[in-house]
A and B are shown apart, each in its own frame.
Chain A
Amino acid sequence: MSEANLTIQDVKEGDALPELSVDVTATTIVLGALATRDWRPMHHDYDFAVNRNGTRNIFLNTPNQAAWFERYVTDWTGPKGRLGRIKFRMKDSVFPDDTMVFHGSVAGVDAEAGWVDLEMELTVGDKVVTGCTARMALPKDGDDNPWSRTGNDWKP
């Protein structure tokens, strides 16, 4: 459960986000595919993934990776953290029996506007599977709420 309540005052460039480690099962992959309404067989059908796609097993789909990264950053920020932009590059795939680990650090802080830029990686063993950057709105102080930003105040 996310219980953090980070403000921009709590953050500085170079800060590390706590690591998140997840043991991946076939259920993780299939549940992620169904949750994102992705019925393509390479995310639930071993035979299709191996013999048609040429991968070694079914693998985690792209939209569910976005959901994992969103969960990772909001575990750190708490519910006032508002995702503005996320970009990720898949370099390899996540398969059942992998342990995926999320790492991240603060690449930039705009204290006046209440934004942080994050650099993150999803690794399996020594391999970077996905690289990710995100721009996250944080409260400027205890009274600020990024979810109330609209128009020119919302600059993702």
Chain B
Amino acid sequence: MGAAKNAEDLSAEVEGWLGKERYVETTTFPIEMGYVYTSCASVENGNPLFWDEQVAGELTGGPIAPPSMLSAWFRPHHWVPNQTEQSLPLQVHFDLKDRLGLPEAVMTDNTIVFGVPVRPGDVLTTCQVLHSVSALKETKLGTGRFWEIEVRYTNQNGELVGTEWYTGYGYKRTAS
């Protein structure tokens, strides 16, 4: 991860983003169990670690969130008072779409490495690091570029709770 060759035709602005920690953010609400139950319900996950306080107490010293929920905690509310523009998750991804003139995008690869468990009441901090942007490539979706973004997550004690790597593909659809 992070070793892909970069395109040679990037603007100075996009080149300047490579390797830089950007969009340092803190969760807008403390971690809470309501979303844990919703997440488990969405995939019919009956793991007693998330439903049975006694099991959680014995194994993890109290309730925890499913590790796979990591990115969910940082997706912004769809609406908040006095906000004129909608916030977007993984802002570096959307910055790239905008600056590179690639209106559509999909995620192709996702790697998540987990650290200490996330617990109700935790307040997490994240940052995003762009690691690579490819030259233009043709795919069945259209013409576009691949990029790699790392997202780091820590808790209020500075402990690493996880790291995510995304490979995105921004593209223009091929005219049919």
Residues of A near any B CB (own CB < 8 A): 1-2, 22, 28, 31-32, 34-39, 52-54, 62-64, 66-71, 74-75, 79-80, 82-90, 145, 147, 150, 154, 156
Contact = CB atoms under 8 A, between A and B. Distances in A.
Interface stretch (B3-11, B16-24, B107-115, B128-136): B107-115
B142 to A, nearest CB: 9
A67 B68 contact: yes
A70 B67 contact: yes
Given A79-B47, A147-B60, 4 more contacts: A31-B41, A70-B66, A71-B44, A156-B115
Interface in B110-165: 110-117, 141
A64 B107 CA distance: 13
Interface residues of B, number: 40
Nearest to B39: A35
Closest 3 CB pairs between A and B?
A37-B75, A1-B46, A35-B42
Contacts of A80: 59
- The residue among A34, A54, A66 with the most chain B CB atoms within 10 A of its own CB is A66
Main secondary structure of the interface of B (DSSP, over half): mixed
Nearest to B111: A87
A32 B39 CA distance: 7
Interface in B12-46: 35, 38-46
